[in-house]
Protein backbone atom coordinates (compact mmCIF):
# COMPACT_ATOMS: atom_id res chain seq x y z
CA UNK A 1 0.00 0.00 0.00
CA UNK A 2 2.94 2.31 -0.59
CA UNK A 3 0.84 4.59 -2.76
CA UNK A 4 -1.58 5.04 0.16
CA UNK A 5 1.05 6.66 2.39
CA UNK A 6 2.38 8.84 -0.40
CA UNK A 7 -1.08 10.11 -1.28
CA UNK A 8 -2.04 10.79 2.33
CA UNK A 9 1.17 12.77 2.84
CA UNK A 10 0.60 14.74 -0.38
CA UNK A 11 -2.98 15.69 0.49
CA UNK A 12 -2.02 16.60 4.06
CA UNK A 13 0.60 18.96 2.67
CA UNK A 14 -1.87 20.48 0.19
CA UNK A 15 -4.31 21.10 3.05
CA UNK A 16 -1.64 22.56 5.32
CA UNK A 17 -2.18 19.78 7.85
CA UNK A 18 0.37 17.62 9.62
CA UNK A 19 0.50 13.92 10.37
CA UNK A 20 0.07 14.90 14.03
CA UNK A 21 -3.20 16.67 13.12
CA UNK A 22 -4.44 13.57 11.34
CA UNK A 23 -3.42 11.26 14.18
CA UNK A 24 -5.31 13.45 16.65
CA UNK A 25 -8.41 13.46 14.44
CA UNK A 26 -8.26 9.66 14.21
CA UNK A 27 -7.46 9.31 17.93
CA UNK A 28 -4.41 7.15 17.20
CA UNK A 29 -0.81 7.55 18.26
CA UNK A 30 1.34 9.48 15.78
CA UNK A 31 3.70 6.49 15.72
CA UNK A 32 0.84 4.23 14.61
CA UNK A 33 -0.05 6.60 11.79
CA UNK A 34 3.61 6.77 10.79
CA UNK A 35 3.71 2.96 10.52
CA UNK A 36 0.71 3.02 8.19
CA UNK A 37 2.08 5.83 6.03
CA UNK A 38 5.51 4.21 5.73
CA UNK A 39 4.10 0.81 4.73
CA UNK A 40 5.09 -1.01 7.93
CA UNK A 41 1.48 -1.93 8.80
CA UNK A 42 -1.88 -1.58 7.09
CA UNK A 43 -4.65 0.45 8.69
CA UNK A 44 -8.05 -1.15 9.29
CA UNK A 45 -10.64 -0.51 6.60
CA UNK A 46 -12.63 1.89 8.80
CA UNK A 47 -9.51 3.98 9.37
CA UNK A 48 -8.97 4.23 5.61
CA UNK A 49 -12.54 5.53 5.32
CA UNK A 50 -11.96 7.97 8.20
CA UNK A 51 -8.75 9.26 6.59
CA UNK A 52 -10.55 9.76 3.27
CA UNK A 53 -13.32 11.71 5.00
CA UNK A 54 -10.80 13.85 6.89
CA UNK A 55 -8.87 14.62 3.72
CA UNK A 56 -12.06 15.02 1.64
CA UNK A 57 -10.89 12.52 -1.00
CA UNK A 58 -12.19 9.12 -2.03
CA UNK A 59 -10.87 5.84 -0.70
CA UNK A 60 -10.31 4.84 -4.33
CA UNK A 61 -7.90 7.75 -4.70
CA UNK A 62 -6.02 6.88 -1.50
CA UNK A 63 -5.72 3.24 -2.53
CA UNK A 64 -4.44 4.10 -6.01
CA UNK A 65 -7.56 2.94 -7.86
CA UNK A 66 -8.15 6.46 -9.25
CA UNK A 67 -5.66 9.07 -10.30
CA UNK A 68 -7.15 12.31 -9.07
CA UNK A 69 -10.16 12.80 -6.88
Rounded to 5°, the CA angle 20-13-58 comes to 90
Fold of 2-62: 434 Repressor (Amino-terminal Domain) (1.10.260)
Q: What is the pLDDT of residue 69?
A: 57
- Give the span between the Cα atoms of 57 and 69, in whole angstroms: 6
Report whether 3 contacts 37 (CB < 8 A).
Answer: no
Residue 44: left (phi > 0), alpha (psi -120 to 50), or beta? beta
- Give the span between the Cα atoms of 59 and 69, in whole angstroms: 9
Q: What is the pLDDT of residue 2?
A: 84
Each residue's pLDDT expressed in tens, for the chain with a length of 69 residues: 689 999 999 999 999 999 999 999 999 999 999 999 998 999 999 999 999 999 999 999 999 998 865
pTM for the full model? 0.92
Amino acid sequence: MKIFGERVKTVLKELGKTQKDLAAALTVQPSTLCEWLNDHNEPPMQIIVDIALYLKVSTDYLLGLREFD
